[in-house]
Amino acid sequence: MAEDRTEDRPPPRGGGATHTGSRGTCPVCASDDVIHLVIGMPALPEDWGSGPVWVEWVGCAHPGYNRRCASCGGTWTASSETTFHSVLEVMAHAHVDTPDDLADWISEEYEHDAWVRVDDHHLEIGFRNRSVTIVYPVREDDLWESLDDLHDELSEELAAERE
């Protein structure tokens, strides 16, 4: 018996961190039984756990992928649909109130501590003497990619200095 078929759930509400968009297919086995992982905390507490059954809320611990196939178990990363238009949106996404706390949040992902400088139009994020200026709107995955590149450059520079 399958009385409480979860497909009967209402569609996700718009806005906030609520997940929207198509479910997609598995790049490994082409199944459409794809689980979307929502990374990070929702803007509104009541959004937690919202969305269809194939959306899994995983909190702030990034597992390194955001899609999982329920058929073959494959995992991969799909482009984030989250776009930030201001530092307030970034901080809401990170669930922090100040740029310093945002820096701490970013630092958790990296070996080197990050710092954050904010003005009306830009978000500057740096590691040590290197930084990248983020111009809004910025997609979440582009933001992380910029930070990954910056962090890699710094790590290579430090490794070269040690030789």
Nearer to Zn ion, 34 or 91 (CB): 34
The reply to whether 116 sits near Zn ion by the rule CB under 5 A is no
The reply to whether 72 sits near Zn ion by the rule CB under 5 A is yes
Which of 9, 11, 21, 28: binder of Zn ion (CB under 5 A)?
28
Which of 17, 19, 26, 140: binder of Zn ion (CB under 5 A)?
26
For residue 30, give the nearest of 80, 67, 64, 71 by alpha carbon. Answer: 71
Give bridge partners of residue 59 from the DSSP assignment.
39
The reply to whether 70 sits near Zn ion by the rule CB under 5 A is no
Which of 38, 39, 69, 118: binder of Zn ion (CB under 5 A)?
69
The reply to whether 17 sits near Zn ion by the rule CB under 5 A is no
The reply to whether 27 sits near Zn ion by the rule CB under 5 A is no
Nearer to Zn ion, 34 or 147 (CB): 34
Closest separation between CB of residue 35 and Zn ion, Å? Answer: 10
For residue 133, give the nearest of 119, 154, 152 by alpha carbon. Answer: 119
The reply to whether 34 sits near Zn ion by the rule CB under 5 A is no
The reply to whether 29 sits near Zn ion by the rule CB under 5 A is yes
Angle at 73 between CA 13 and CA 139, to 5 degrees: 45
Window contacting Zn ion (CB under 5 A); options: 9-17, 66-74, 90-98, 114-122: 66-74
C-alpha 63/C-alpha 47 separation (Å) is 21
Return all residues near 113 (Cβ < 8 A) that are at least 6 apart: 103, 107, 127
C-alpha 161/C-alpha 163 separation (Å) is 6
C-alpha 162/C-alpha 156 separation (Å) is 10
Q: Which residues bind Zn ion (CB under 5 A)?
A: 26, 28-29, 31, 69, 71-72, 74
